[in-house]
Structure 1
Amino acid sequence: MNVRREMAEPTILSSDIQHQIRAVLYGQCVGDALGLLTEFLTKKEAKQYFGKLKDCLEFEHKSLVDNPHQNRWNVGDWSDDSDQTILILISLTENKGEVNCKDIARRFLDWMKRGIPELGDYVGMGIGATTDRVIHHGSFLNDPMAAAESVWRESQGKVAPNGAVMRTSALGIHRFHDMDHVTKNAADVAKITHFDPRCQASSVAVSVAIAMMLQKKERHFNKTGGYSIQAIIQDSYDIAVKCIEIEEQKRELLSCMECSDLKQLKLDESGKIGYTFKTLGSGFWALKQTDFRKAITKIVLQGGDTDTNACVAGALLGCKLGIEAIPESWRNKLKHKDWLEQQIQRYFMMVNEADLNAQPVTAS
C-alpha cells in the first residue's frame, strides 16, 4: 500500500482512512479466528495438523483438530480477544468518543456473564485468568484500575499476560492524530485488567504504531513511498518504554519489537505462552512482513497462544498493507462479518458527526 503523504490533523475521516481502519479491525478478527485452529498446541502439533496446508490454510480446516477447546467455537468465529476489542469500539461509539474506563469495565463484566447475545453467545468464552480475577474483584466496577493493581500486587508483580495487548487496536485507530491521547488511552484501558508496566507498554506500543501509520507523517515513510518500519518501531518504543522503570524490561521490550525471527520468541514455550512480550514480538515481527497470508499462517503454525499472537499481528499488518491484502476468503468467511461491519460503520458515523458538530460556524 503506497500511501506516502503528509497529513494534517483531520476533521472528517476520509474514505482512505476508513478503509485503513477497517483493515486494522478485519486484520485483528481474521488473525484471531485463524489462530483458534492451533491455540494451545505446540509448534510440533500445529505442523503435524496443518503444516501441509501452510499455503492454503482456511477457517474450515479447524475440523482437522478435534479437542474440547477448539470445539467451543464455530468455524470462522473469533475469540475473546476480538470480542473485547469490539466492546471497546462500541463503548467509544456510544460515549461519543470518550474513553470511559468504568463503562468499558462494565461491558467486560456483562460480556463475561453473557458473551455478546446478538452473536448467539450465552457466556464470554476464552477469558484469561488475570482478567477473570480482576473482574471478580469486589471493587472492579467502582475502580477497575485499583482492582487490577490489587490483583497484580497479589502476584508480587510477576504476572504480565497478553490480555490487554490483544484488544488495544481499537485505541490505535481512535483519535489517531493525537498521539498523547492514543498513549494515555492505551495505558488506561490496559490498566482496567492488566496493571503490570509490561502490559501497559505492550498496549501502548501497538496502539501508537497503528496511529503512526494512520497519521502518515513524512518521517515514517521511506524513499520508495512505503512505510519506514524501523522508524515506526523506534518511535513506538520511545513512547512505550516510558511505562517501564526496570532496565532489563526496557531491553526486553526493544528486543521483542525488533525481532526478525519468530523462533527467538519461543511462542509455544511451556508455561509462558501468554506472556505479553511474546504477543508484542509477534505483532512487530509481522509488521516487517509483506504478505498477509504468509505472515499470519507462519504465526499460527508456531503454536502457543496463537489467536492472540495472530490477532495483534493481523491488526498491525492490516494497517500497513490495507484490507485488499487480507485474503478475501478470510474476510468473507468471518462468521460475524456483517455484525462487525455494522459496528465499524456506527463508529465512523459517530466520529464524523462529532467532528462536524465541533467545527466552528462562520458568518456569511
Structure 2
Amino acid sequence: MSTLATATIRDRIKGCLLGNAIGDAYGLATEFMTTRVAKELYGNGPIAFGTDPGYPVYEDHHRPIADRNDFTDDTDQMLVMLQSLHQSRDGILHPINFALRLAEWERRGIVEIGADPGRGLGFTVGSVLSHREFFDNPHRAAFEVWDMAGRDLAPNGAVMRTAVAGVERFWDEPRVVENAMAAAKITHADPRSVVSALISSVLISRFLRGGGSNVTEDQGRVWNPRLAQAEYQQELLSYLERGTNLQGDSTLDPPYNETPESRFKPKNYDMIEHQRLQREAAAGGTYRDQFKDHQWTDWNKDRPKVTLRADIGWVGIDNVGEDDAAGSLARSVVADYKFLLQQTHVVPPSQHGQRVQDQWTAELESMCFPQSMSQLRLGASESIGYTFKCIGIGYYGATRKQDPSPTAPEYGGGEGLFRGLMEQVTIEGGDADTNCAVMGSLLGARLGFQGGIPENWWRNLQHLDWLSETIDSYTNRVLADYETCTQTQ
C-alpha cells in the first residue's frame, strides 16, 4: 500500500494528470521544430504561458493563437483511457473498450470540450485504427502494422497517454503493469514502446505509494513481489507476444475477457453537446471566441527581438544534479523491468550478428539516465518521436533536484523546478509537447499539485473547469477503491 496520507495521494494524482495536460500545452510552442529554429524564436526563454510573461508562442497553422494554453492529442488520449477505466470501474484496462473509445475520439473528439475529432492523430495510431482487425483484435492489428513497416517503428504514442495507467490501482503494481501493457499494445507492438509506457506508469505508481523520498526505505521495499517468480516474468514476456504470429494461432487471437460492465457504451453525444453549449453560454463564451476575427496578417505582429538571458534564473537541468531518492527509485523501476527487452522474442531481424535485445536494453538505460540533456538529441528531425527519447527526458527531468538557491524566486521549490524543466526541454524542440506531457505527469506524481505546478499556469489552462471535475471524479473512485483494499488487508 502507500505510506502517504490520502490527502497527499489525492494531491499527487491531480498533479500527475494536470501535469500531463500542462506539459502538453506548454510544449506545443516548439513541437516539430528543430533545436536551432526553436532557439531562434525563443532564445533561452522564457516562453509566455498562462499569465506569465515571456516570448509569445510563435503563431502558425500548427499553433494558432486560439490553441494557446490548450492541451493536444497527447492529453486527449490520456483522457480517453481515463474514461474507459472509469466506465468499467473494476481497475482493469479492457483493450476492446479502450480501442473503441479511441475510435470514438477519432470520429467525435473530446465531445465534452468541443475538441476536434482525432486532432494530432499520429501515423502509427492512425494506421492501427484503420486496420480491419482493430475493433475485434487491436493487439493483432497493432502487430500487423508494425510487422508490415519492417518491425522498426518505436514511436512515443503509447507512453504519451499512459499517466492514468499509473494512477489506476496504483497500490497494486502487477495490475499497473498489465494495464500499461494492455493499453500500449492496442496501437504499439514494438517492445520499446510498450516498455516505455510500462516504466512510466510504474514510476508514477511508486511515487503515489510514497517512493522517492528516502533511499534507504525505498531500497528495503519489495515493490512487486511477483517479480521474484520466474513464472510471472514468463507471463509478462508471453503478454508481449499476444497478438503476434510468433506462436501461430495461440498468440494471434488473444482472449480479452470482456465482461458486461466492460462492454463499450457510446457517449450520449447530443446531451453532452447541449451541456457544453449551456456551460459556454453561462461563461460568456470560450477562449477561442475572442479570436474569431484574427487574421493571418496579425500573426506574430510586433514580435519582440530575441536576446539571450545572461542568467536563466536557476542552475539549469544539467547542473542541478540528480535527487538521490527520486533517482534511486527510477533506477529500481528500470532494473526491475528491463528483462522484458532483454528476453523478448518480439524483435526485428538482428543485424551483424548482434542481439537487438541487448542494444535496446543498453539504449534504454543510457537514455533514461544520460550525462546531459544534449545526449538525447531531442530536436534531431530524423527521430523526434522515438519512444526512448520521450521516456528518457521524462525520467531525466523527474529525477532532478530542486535548486536550493535560484537567482530568480520563480525557480524556487517544486513549482520552480517544474517551470525550469519545461522551459529548457521545450526550447530543445522536437516532439516537445509529448516530451513535456510525460515529464509533467512524472513530476506531478512526485511533487504534487499544490506547490508542484506554477499557479499562473494551471489557472489559465483551457478547459480547466471540466478537466478538474473529470480528474476529481475519477480520483474519488480510485481512492474509494484504495480505502476498501486497505480495510480488507
Shared fold (TM-score, shorter chain, > 0.5) = yes
After TM superposition, give the deviation of residue 239 of structure 1 in Å.
3.0
Higher helix share: 1
User: Is the counterpart of residue 350 in structure 1 residue 477 in structure 2?
Assistant: yes
Distance in structure 1 (CA, Å) of the matches to 2:120 and 2:339:
31
How far residue 240 of structure 1 moved from its aligned partner, in angstroms, is: 3.0
Q: How far, CA to CA, are the matches of 1:360 and 1:317 in structure 2?
A: 30
Name the counterpart of 1:268. Answer: 379
Structure 2 residues not aligned, in runs of 5+: 219-322, 343-356, 403-416
Aligned residues: 351
Q: Does 1:75 align with 2:201?
A: no
The 2-side partners of 1:298 and 1:231 are apart by 23
Does the Cα contact within 8 Å between 1:161 and 1:274 map onto a contact in 2?
yes
The reply to whether residue 181 of structure 1 matches residue 175 of structure 2 is yes
Instruction: Measure how far apart 1:7 and its partner are.
Output: 3.4
**Corresponding residue of 1:3:** none
Shift of the alpha carbon at 1:320?
1.5
Give 1:360 shift.
7.5
Shift of 1:65: 1.3
Tell me what 2:338 maps to. Answer: 241
User: TM-score if structure 1 supplies the norm length?
Assistant: 0.90
Using the TM superposition, name which of 153-162 and 351-360 deviates more: 351-360
Listed as ranges, the matches of 1:269-308 within 5 Å are 269-289=380-400, 290=402, 291-308=417-434
In 2: Cα distance, 1:259 partner to 1:338 partner = 38
- The structure number with the bigger radius of gyration is 2
SS where residue 99 of structure 2 aligns? Answer: helix
- 3-state DSSP of counterpart to 2:390: helix
Change (3 A) 1:293 1:224: farther
Answering whether residue 48 of structure 2 is matched by residue 57 of structure 1, we say yes
C-alpha deviations, 1:285-305, integer Å up to 9, x for none? 111223110011110000000
- Is residue 198–residue 243 contact of structure 1 (8 Å, CA) maintained in 2? no
Answer whether contact 1:32 1:311 (CA < 8 A) is retained.
Answer: yes
Write the deviation string for residues 80-116 of structure 1: whole angstroms up to 9, x where unpaired: 0001111111111111133111111111111111111
Partner of residue 2, structure 2: 7
| Residue of structure 1 aligned with 2:59, choices 53, 57, 66 | 66
Q: Which amino acid aligns with 1:122?
A: D
Letter in 1 for 2:49: E
Paired letter, 1:299: V
Q: Secondary structure at the match of 2:382?
A: coil
Q: Deviations over 1:218-238 (max 9, x none)?
A: x86237998712321221102
Q: Kindly, what percent of the aligned residue pairs are identical? A: 33
Secondary structure of 2:105's aligned partner: helix
1:234 and 1:25 mapped to 2: Cα distance?
A: 23
Contact 1:204 1:239 in 2 (8 A): no
CA deviation map 1:286-344 (0-9, x unaligned): 11223110011110000000000000011111222221221111111110111111111
Q: Is the 8 A contact 2:44 2:427 kept in 1?
A: no
Which residue of structure 2 aligns with residue 194 of structure 1? 188
Instruction: Provide TM-score, normalisation by structure 2.
Output: 0.68
Q: What is the aligned partner in structure 2 of residue 87 from structure 1? A: 80
Per-residue displacement from partner, 1:241-299 (whole Å, max 9, x unpaired)? 13213011000011111124110000111221000001011101111223110011110
Could you say what the CA RMSD is over the residues aligned between the two structures, in angstroms?
2.4
